[in-house]
Structure 1
């Protein structure tokens, strides 16, 4: 029997196949490539921000299938032409938060291997790219570190509010560790002028002969990516130890400590201060992942999640998104990993 289909039907069928292919190409589930992920939920949609050209953005309605959106910045923020003249818009380690109806996106500008770094901030009234009021407004940098002057590194920002509603910015990578500084309550784009409180809340051992102006390495001062999560009347400080960004040569791992005060001291399970090198292991590499790190922590619909990246052994060490439910044991976070 011969069956002849109208040409219009054939064209419609091919067009439908093409749309399906495009949808599959844009939606990612098990193999979502990402580095330094942070997340937020608005009106049932999850938005994922991460390191990438102009800051990478993806969206999902189920935490599994992700669709790539346009980057935050089509070109490098204007202020970087003075602080980083050769900057090419590859922006690191953002952090996203909502406060009083405004979304604050902090981000890192740096020259790799140096502490010529700055943390910028942009704001938006919505994260829905189809909303009429969707527009990112950049406010320049909040804090900057300068080689030879500062013994810390202004990257890897995280915004947290203490129990009194005071905003704090935590940041740091290598050098002398993780810093925390108070922001203005009425302007989250600026450091509080009085008092201008700078405190170290976590660090790693450094060889005593190592010049403080040096970053350190995998055996000297390797701590970064702070993230503070409030739970059970504690502030939990997560951080990443050891070497990132080296594919299957990475040794990254996630540790945690806790404190009743946002400025510390933070202690690990064994009672060691994080400022003295303490930190209880939360996750490290396994059979699938060479190493894992740079985490964030959130509560979505009553469930606590740890969001981080891992270097996939089976895919040449490419960095992928990992989301795990947090289990709490004796007041400490654990994950099945």
Structure 2
């Protein structure tokens, strides 16, 4: 029996049928931010795909972030085709920070880089993404971690940390410099989630050890770590799901509802698919206008496994663990 089959769900959910809302746009790995009255959605795609909405219902496609691939990328991934993965967007000190990933599939030949802008509105004369290049890079035969799926977060002292990772030897967190463009010195690294796996198996089929895409959400005096388990991007064979743990410290240790450490395979099930929606995962979480939301992608079985946007409102039980509510 797989490990995820042994864990107890946080809340008995039929989420993929009635309590989430499928958006009619094709997305992978969605993240979101709001500027004034407009929501902006960023996701994996050619040059990073961008959508905008006034109501979280109707979405317009905007120009990609990079019309051409950044000039440094081929030094990390030769012959890169500008299909950029898993962005993360934040607003800090009057600037928008967009971290993004480049990688060779199923390898840790990867890098996380940063671009900045002063506005998200493509019609604004000030609109211009400035690329700052690599922040963190993983190298085969040197690193047992994978530099993709970034998430910028700040601790209670406003110190910046970058959570990231996919497969390999777990998900990591590293302290950044105040300019958010580089790793702070002396370096401070932490493992924030880990599952047992067999390294003789390739990342295309790692057995029961697959995990990726950490997202840290501060609420209720805790840092909640949402992360995805198992396999994405395989249509009806996708087994992706979202689990959660929490910690009083941003660097951990994170534990699930049963007190099991996420570094020892712990994780409380929050989202999983069914016969209608495959592989629900790679989430992000936000507070907009006093309400908490979780967004993610899932594969629509009725549309031959097309990945679509899903949005739920997050609520909190009496023990301050997240539960899902429909988006009204």
TM-score by length of 2: 0.90
Say whether 1:42 aligns with 2:50.
no
Deviation at 1:287, TM superposition (A): 4.1
Q: What does residue range 137-176 of structure 1 map to in structure 2 within 5 Å?
A: 137-176=130-169
CA distance in 2, matches of 1:218, 1:64: 37
Q: What does residue range 297-312 of structure 1 map to in structure 2 within 5 Å?
A: 297-312=285-300
Deviations for 1:211-249, whole angstroms, at most 9, x for unmatched residues? 5x9547352420001000000110000000000011111
Match of 1:81 in 2: 74
Deviations for 1:11-60, whole angstroms, at most 9, x for unmatched residues? xxxxxxxxxxxxxxxxxx83211000000000110000000000000000
Deviation at 1:266, TM superposition (A): 0.1
Q: What does residue range 211-290 of structure 1 map to in structure 2 within 5 Å?
A: 211=200, 215=203, 217-290=205-278
Q: Contact 1:108 / 1:157 at 8 angstroms: preserved in 2?
A: yes
Q: Contact 1:206 / 1:216 at 8 angstroms: preserved in 2?
A: no
Q: Contact 2:208 / 2:230 at 8 angstroms: preserved in 1?
A: no
Which secondary structure state, in structure 1, belongs to the residue aligned with residue 24 of structure 2? coil
Higher relative contact order (CA 8 A, sep 6+): 2
Say whether 1:179 aligns with 2:168.
no
Deviation at 1:173, TM superposition (A): 0.2
Q: Contact 1:175 / 1:214 at 8 angstroms: preserved in 2?
A: no
**Residue of structure 1 aligned with 2:320, choices 326, 331, 336:** 331
Q: Contact 1:201 / 1:275 at 8 angstroms: preserved in 2?
A: yes
Q: What does residue range 44-193 of structure 1 map to in structure 2 within 5 Å?
A: 44-185=37-178, 187-193=179-185
Q: Contact 2:197 / 2:206 at 8 angstroms: preserved in 1?
A: no
The aligned length equals: 304
Distance 1:148 1:218, change over 3 A: closer
Q: Contact 1:248 / 1:312 at 8 angstroms: preserved in 2?
A: no
Please say which of residues 45-54 and 73-82 is displaced more in the overlay: 73-82
CA distance in 2, matches of 1:96, 1:49: 8
Q: Contact 1:123 / 1:138 at 8 angstroms: preserved in 2?
A: yes
Match of 1:6 in 2: none
RMSD: 1.3
Deviation at 1:336, TM superposition (A): 4.1
Deviations for 1:256-279, whole angstroms, at most 9, x for unmatched residues? 000000000000000000000000
Larger radius of gyration: 1
Q: Contact 1:121 / 1:141 at 8 angstroms: preserved in 2?
A: yes
Deviations for 1:134-188, whole angstroms, at most 9, x for unmatched residues? 0000000100001111000000000000010000000000000100000011x10
Q: Which 5+ residue runs of structure 2 have no aligned equivalent?
A: 1-21
Deviation at 1:132, TM superposition (A): 1.1
Please say which of residues 280-289 and 233-242 is displaced more in the overlay: 280-289
CA distance in 2, matches of 1:149, 1:319: 34
Divergent runs of 4+, >6 A: none
Which secondary structure state, in structure 2, belongs to the residue aligned with residue 98 of structure 1? strand
Q: Contact 1:34 / 1:50 at 8 angstroms: preserved in 2?
A: yes
Match of 1:205 in 2: 196
Match of 1:21 in 2: none
CA distance in 2, matches of 1:310, 1:146: 30
CA distance in 2, matches of 1:200, 1:262: 11
